Structure 1
Amino acid sequence: MGASCCHHDHNHQPSHSPDPKYRRILWVALIVNALMFLIEIIFSQRANSVSLLADAIDFLGDAANYGISIWVLAMSVQTRAKASLVKAASMGLFGIAVLAHAVWNAITGVVPDAQTMTLIGFLALAANVVVAILLYAYRNGDSNMRSVWLCTRNDALGNVAVIIAALGVFGTGTAWPDLIVAVIMATLALTAAWQVIKQARRELTPVE
């Protein structure tokens, strides 16, 4: 999806003034993600769910990403592209960390609480759908705006996956649905990180 983007300005000056509405949306997204991180980190421990924990870590990463996006919004395209590389790195590290945690849970064999997973999953989905609707109009901007949209999209997909995992845990009585969803979420993070890196590198390449 990273290939279908708008034309990019390679000048060192801002290509346009930041949209005040977009800045406000980023602040809303930052607050929502920070609150959901606190909620999910608490209940992921109570539920012993690696997919819920992965979602909590993702919320924390996105809150930081929205903060970076607000900071660089009025800066040059190349500065925003460099910020995108930082965000892409955080998305990649998130994916690797989730894979490692999934392996650990597979070894220990802890079965998560399906009911808690379902309730928190629906709450997280509602939060991300609201943010995704607000950000939809800005999904095809520069790599910085693109990374914001990809994070939000992945979060909503991850929430649906957590709910499906909860149903799987409830139906099978095993941790495998939870672990499988955690691996899928990690793969989404790694894929999105690669897409953002490719676009940011194009924006950092001077026009000959």
Structure 2
Amino acid sequence: MASHHHDHGHSPGHSYGHAHDQRQAHDQRQGHDQRQGHDHGHGHGHSHAPTSFGRAFAIGIALNIAFVIGEGGVGLWSGSVALLADAGHNLSDVLGLAVAWGGATLARAAPTKRFTYGLKGSTILAALFNALLLLVALGAIVLAAVQRFSDPPTVAGLTISMVAAVGIAVNGLTAWLFARGSKGDINVRGAYLHMLSDALVSAGVVIAGLVIWKTGIGWIDPVVSLVIVALIFGQTWGLLRETVEMALAAVPRGIDYDGVEHALTTLPGVERIHDLHIWPMSTTEPVLTAHLVVPQGHPGDAFLSTAREMLHDRFGIGHATLQLERGDECDGC
């Protein structure tokens, strides 16, 4: 994104048709190439998973698919709803890893005249789809668990613990694959935290299996499955809320709107700011457009570069379009 006129049409729900004076248009045309190159440096590689994590995604997905098949099979054989619930959770991990990997791949797709931002927004749609699908699966698990209360099956507690222990190893290893990138990349951090939390859930299943093995109390199994569902529901509901917000072009979580407004207002020569919009281009890349009133006229390319670097470094906004105005005539546009 560069600070020139035609880019403003991208701001959702707002039409920009302002007329600029000849001096501003001339100054912006002079610096167009320089600013365009600068913006591209911020816009790529800032948020989505680096190519080097493709192998980690592939290994993590393969491990979890193998474990889901094994755990689901043992769950059906032993009649353990807790194992089936945990297998469903691990299946969601496969979908989550696939979405993160697919989003990282699609984020590198080149923009076209039809899709001027590329296909970055598909990560929001995929996350929303996965959240809704997972809620349906959780409902099915709850129904099966409730039915088991009236007729608790005889389950092999030791078998449950052994299978869930394998889950701890699988999820722990997958989390380790993403540990080195968890601090610098939001997609990788999400995968890391998800897999780490799943290892803790599997630990809970191990404990339940050992209790069943020692006491023979079968109803502990559906209780544990309901606890697992509650834990997954909390994560899923948060994911659903955030993806719906993203689909509605809300200000991304973690970005302080007032802080951004104040930071832009305190830039040298800026008298006030209006029409500030911040929304997500994808699940990891926010976009900003704003009108800055600069009575002294266009302050030059260095001002724009400094402003964009500030937005990138302080707020993680790698795509910023700034429209400069000299007076009051555009305030109500």
TM-score range, shorter chain: 0.7 to 0.9
Letter in 2 for 1:177: I
Show CA shifts across 1:23-68 (max 9, x none): 2211111101100011111111222111111112222232233223
Q: Does 1:100 align with 2:143?
A: yes
Name the residue aligned to 2:269.
none
Change (3 A) 1:77 1:145: farther
- 1:1-208 map, 5 Å: 15-17=43-45, 18-74=49-105, 75=107, 77-136=120-179, 137-138=181-182, 141-142=185-186, 148-204=191-247, 205=249, 208=277
- Of all paired residues, the percent bearing the same amino acid is 22
Deviation at 1:140, TM superposition (A): 7.9
Letter in 1 for 2:214: G
* Mapped partners of 1:129, 1:11: distance in 2: 42
- Bigger-Rg structure (1/2): 2
Higher normalized helix content (fraction of residues):
1
Name the residue aligned to 1:5.
none
Please say if residues 81 and 203 of structure 1, whose CA atoms lie closer than 8 Å, have aligned partners that are also in contact.
yes
* Mapped partners of 1:141, 1:198: distance in 2: 21
User: 1 or 2 for the larger relative contact order (CA 8 Å, sep ≥6)?
Assistant: 1
Change (3 A) 1:186 1:161: same
Higher normalized strand content (fraction of residues):
2
Structure 2: give runs of 5+ residues left out of the alignment: 1-9, 13-39, 108-118, 252-276, 278-333
* Mapped partners of 1:65, 1:152: distance in 2: 10
Output the aligned Cα RMSD: 2.8
Deviation at 1:201, TM superposition (A): 3.3
Calculate the TM-score normalised by the size of structure 1: 0.82
* Mapped partners of 2:190, 2:244: distance in 1: 13
Query: How many residue pairs were aligned?
Result: 198
Please say if residues 168 and 202 of structure 2, whose CA atoms lie closer than 8 Å, have aligned partners that are also in contact.
yes
Calculate the TM-score normalised by the size of structure 2: 0.53
